[in-house]
Amino acid sequence: MYHKTGCEGFQCEDQTLGADLAGVRDEQTVVDRLVAWLRQRSLFVLAYGTGCGAIEIRPLMTSRYDAERFGIIGAATPRQADVLVISGYLAIKTLKRVIRSYEQMQEPKYVIALGSCTINGGMYWDSYNTVKQVDHYLPVDLFVNGCMPRPEALIEGFVALQKRIADGEKGGWLRYRENLDWYKANQRRVLGANMLPDDTSAWLQVGGQA
Amino acid sequence: MRALIDVPLMLLVTYTMGFFMYGFYRQFMARIQNRRGPPIWQNLYDNLKFFSKSETLSHGPMFFLGPMIMMAGAVTTVLFIPMLKDTAWLQGFSASGNLILVMFLMVVGPLGNALAVGASGNPFGVMGVTRGLTRLMGLEVPFFLGLALIMVQYETVSISAIMAAQPTLAEWTLVTNPLIFLVVLLPFIASLNASPFDVVGAPVEVYSGPRVEFGGRLLGILMTQNMMLSMAKYVLVVALFMGGASNLLELFVKVFVLFMLTASISAVFPRLRTEQAVDFFWRIPLGLGVVAVILTLWI
Ligand code: SF4
């Protein structure tokens, strides 16, 4: 007879979520842990309303789902934000603006991408003017799948990100810094002559203060 | 010698009170809006998080010095307002300063702000500062008129002496001369940058106004100075109108009561436009102020 012993499929999300951080945790000093804990408790969100997902951000932030109880609150400008939420398909024109916003955010910064459009193109798979995998152009920390993910799913995504930050995840911004050439090459490929000037990313190359 | 303990202690008390009150404010607003709201420590978390972020942006030395000037303004304001009466503790440097000095120090913050924003040149920041200075024209006249009337009523400029002159509830300025309190209350709310007079940092109109260019650590400093300066103003109003406090608990309770009053006013009134705010200040509080002058001086 079939007897279930462990988790299966997506039930294992919880175990797999922090699996790669197992070693990181032990290396942290007390101060690191405290800082990481404070960071996960206070996430200022820059919601970049591309695609259909902008609709889901409103109920998330207001009375019904009240993300503020997790310390998640909207930021007025990219400079004050910790998390960039890309809510859906990215047109090539929008990509340029998103990259610019992302590069202006102060480190540590994280990116959450919503919806299947950001993962593999979704229903815009064969569109001529959207990018398929956002991960090629910006370092995404967390994808929330669905078309469109509901606010509950978004909250779950945020909580998962908080857990990872508390466990010592460094965040995609380090990946972006280290592989800047790769990201820039990808961006140049889709943006072409329309490539954004590097005045917001120059400090990454000269090894600006982390 | 005593200053060595007094100074850090006063700063600590102000800071603690600040994040506690504003943490409570966020919960209070959340309950009004029928939601749960963040934990009471949220402001502390936000503040400390900003200190642990990077600050890679620079618009020249003034951009960096501006927040420092504002912080210095907040710290000196805190130190020149005596927190307690009937004791030698928590007096800071109030013996060498007075109400007039405190009134000057309160303007240091906006000055540093304008300098830093001017250096950054961000149009939203400039817009915020312009709004702030216009509003200042409206609020300063009744605010300072009210404070001047207090000095006239007690015939002294020393905050400690004013506190000492109100030992019991019946002698509080709030009771003996409630009109002055009304004159000062609304400009006081505006000087705290709270709704309905929060045109300066309106998040969706001017993208947090003067703070628009600040990210990591400098924003942390701005948050700290804002909390501390607000608390200093609360302590000042408690000292002038509610008889001060003779211990920390009493101070805390009185500041909390005053805070609840201003928070409730902020919670129910929507934001006024800049010219509406100035109009309002020149009409109601200033009109009341003129009546208060007549009552205080001739009756
Ligand atoms: S995933 Fe679906 S809901 Fe989201 S942007 Fe794409 S099509 Fe719209």
A84 found inside a domain: yes
Q: pTM of the predicted model, to two decimals?
A: 0.89
Q: How far apart are CA A45 and CA A80, in angstroms?
A: 9
Assess contact for B73 and B132: CB atoms under 8 A. Answer: no
* DSSP class of A144: E
| Structural domains in chain A (count) | 1
- Cβ proximity of B259 and B185 under 8 Å: no
- Measured at the CA of A153, the angle between CA A150 and CA A155, to 5 degrees, comes to 110
Q: Which two tokens stand for residue B46?
A: 């936000």
- Residue A34, phi then psi, degrees to nearest 5: -65, -45
Relative to beta strand A72-74, strand A90-91 is unpaired
> Which residues touch B33 (CB under 8 Å, ≥6 apart)?
A62, A63
Residue A104 lies in a domain: yes
A174 contact B CB<8A = no
Q: Which residue has the higher pLDDT, B55 or A16?
A: B55
Please work out whether the CB of residue A115 comes within 6 Å of at least one atom of ligand 1.
Answer: yes
Residues of B in contact with A35 (CB under 8 A): 52
B211 contacts in A (CB within 8 Å)? 76, 80
In angstroms, what separates the C-alpha of B223 from chain A's closest C-alpha?
Answer: 12
Which range of residues forms the domain containing residue A72?
Answer: 11-197
Q: What is the pLDDT of residue B258?
A: 94
What is the count of residue pairs from A and B with beta carbons less than 8 Å apart? 88
- Gap from A158 CA to chain B (nearest CA, Å): 15
Strands (E), chain B: none
Instruction: With a cut of 50, say whether residue A210 has pLDDT above it.
Output: no
**In this structure, how many other beta carbons lie within 10 angstroms of the beta carbon of residue B198?**
21
Does residue A2 lie in a domain region? no
The pLDDT value given to residue A207: 54
What average pLDDT does this structure show over A193-202? Answer: 81
Q: Given this model, what pLDDT does residue A62 score?
A: 87
* Closest ligand 1 atom to Cα of A114: 4
Label the pairing between strands A90-91 and A130-131.
Answer: antiparallel
Q: Is A52 in the pocket of ligand 1 (CB under 6 A)?
A: yes
**Tell me, what DSSP letter sits at residue A46?**
E
Sketch the domain layout of chain B as residue ranges: 2-298
Terminal CA-CA length for chain A: 56
Query: In this structure, is residue A5 part of a structural domain?
Result: no
Q: Mean pLDDT throughout A83-93?
A: 90
B30 and chain A in contact, CB less than 8 A: yes
CA angle B12, B16, B22 (to 5 degrees): 145
Quick one: CA torsion of A115, A121, A122, A123, rounded to 10 degrees?
130
Q: Do A38 and B52 touch (CB under 8 A)?
A: yes
Q: Is residue A49 part of a domain?
A: yes
Residues of chain A in contact with residue B49, where contact means CB-CB under 8 angstroms, are: 38-39, 41-42, 82
B208 contact residues in A (CB cutoff 8 A): 76-77, 80
| pLDDT value of residue B80 | 92
Check pocket membership of A88 for ligand 1, CB cut-off 6 A.
yes
Q: Which two tokens stand for residue B65?
A: 């010095």
> Cα B180 from chain centroid?
18
pLDDT band at A182 (very low <50, low <70, confident <90, very high): very high
Q: Any CB–CB contact under 8 A between B36 and chain A?
A: yes
Rounded to whole angstroms, the Cα distance separating B93 from B103 reads 15
pLDDT in tens, chain B (299 residues): 777 888 899 999 999 999 999 999 999 999 998 988 899 999 999 999 999 888 877 788 888 898 999 999 999 999 999 988 888 888 888 888 889 999 888 888 888 888 888 888 888 888 888 888 888 888 888 999 999 999 988 889 999 999 888 888 888 988 888 899 999 998 999 888 888 888 887 777 777 778 888 888 889 999 999 999 999 999 999 999 998 888 899 999 999 999 999 999 988 888 888 888 899 999 999 999 999 888 888 76
Does residue A71 register a pLDDT over 50?
Answer: yes
Mean pLDDT of A190-194: 88
Tell me if A165 is assigned to some domain. Answer: yes
Residue of A nearest to B35 (CA): A63
* Cβ–Cβ below 8 Å for A41 and B53: no
CATH number of A163's domain: 3.40.50.12280
Kindly determine whether residue B214 and residue A106, on different chains, have CB atoms separated by under 8 Å.
no
Pocket test for ligand 1, best of A119, A123, A132, A144 (most atoms within 8 A of CB): A123
B112: exposed, middle or buried (Cβ count in 10 Å: 0-12, 13-18, 19+): buried
Kindly report, residue by residue over A58-68, the tens digit of the pLDDT.
888 888 999 99
Q: Is A147 in the pocket of ligand 1 (CB under 6 A)?
A: yes
The string of pLDDT tens digits covering residues A101-155 is 999 888 889 999 998 889 988 888 888 888 988 999 999 999 998 888 889 999 9
pLDDT of residue B122: 85
Cβ contact B285:B187 at 8 Å: yes
